[in-house]
Amino acid sequence: MSHTTIAYQGFPGAYSHLSCTKVFPQMKAFACESFVQAMYMVEREEALLAMIPIENSTAGRVEEIYRLMPKTHLHIIAEHFEPVNHCLLAMPNTKLEDLKTISSHPQALAQCNSAIENLNLAQIAHLDTAGSAQELAEKKSSSHAAIASKLAASLYGLDVLQENFQDIPGNTTRFIILSKKQSVPEYCEDKAFITTIMFTVRNIPSALYKSMGGFATNGVNMVKLESYMASDSMSATSFHLDVEGHPDQPQMQLALQELQFFSSEFRVIGTYLAHPFRQ
């Protein structure tokens, strides 16, 4: 199973599942109850890859992923940006005027709040967007709706009453694709690359400032810096850093050397092609 399987968190029809089918249509997508299960399936070689959301343009970062990554030996081999198309789903032959309640993940409900209020629907929070669609299909209620993906509608035999149900267009989720095997693409001048690093700074004054200096002096652009607590004692802060560049570039090598000098822990967890969405 492992060589043809990509793991994701959520119910079948979740946006993570949708991303799996778009990026790796030839692979079998396997639904997991948690991010930990999906990542450890790859760690144990029960799946070849995992599709993991790391940030959303509306909801922000998925904080849990930053704490889980250091506990694994996985590598980022690619990234994927998925536009979120929230769909209003209902049982077949249901009309808008029949609806009285609606369910979905709290973030999806919040992102569609104005549209929901316009229909005067009572909101019910659910653990998962696709899970709310599955529950609707099981209960077969003609007065209830769910907010989920178009894929969920297809999987559970529901009608799409309205696409792009969200209040603000452009909502996008960034996913990272994780593998147990490291895979670094060959450097090419006409291609854009992202390198992701996890590090913990040394316990000296201005350590973070000094560690970042190498990127500034060598003209390497930092696109993301996230902090998280590396231990339960809250005694050390670790960082997740995305930069534009490839380790084979001389300026990147100098910047990484300086970062490593001021770090007590340092690990490059992936170099991969920048997704076209970035452009």
Positions marked active-site? 173, 175
Q: Is 170 exposed, middle or buried (0-12, 13-18, 19+ CB in 10 A)?
A: exposed
CA 154 → CA 146, 197, 238, 269, distances in Å? 13, 39, 42, 36
Q: 227: buried, middle or exposed (CB in 10 Å: 19+, 13-18, 0-12)?
A: exposed
Residue 139's contacts (CB-CB under 8 Å, 6 or more residues apart) are none
Residue 273: exposure state from Cβ atoms within 10 A (0-12, 13-18, ≥19): middle
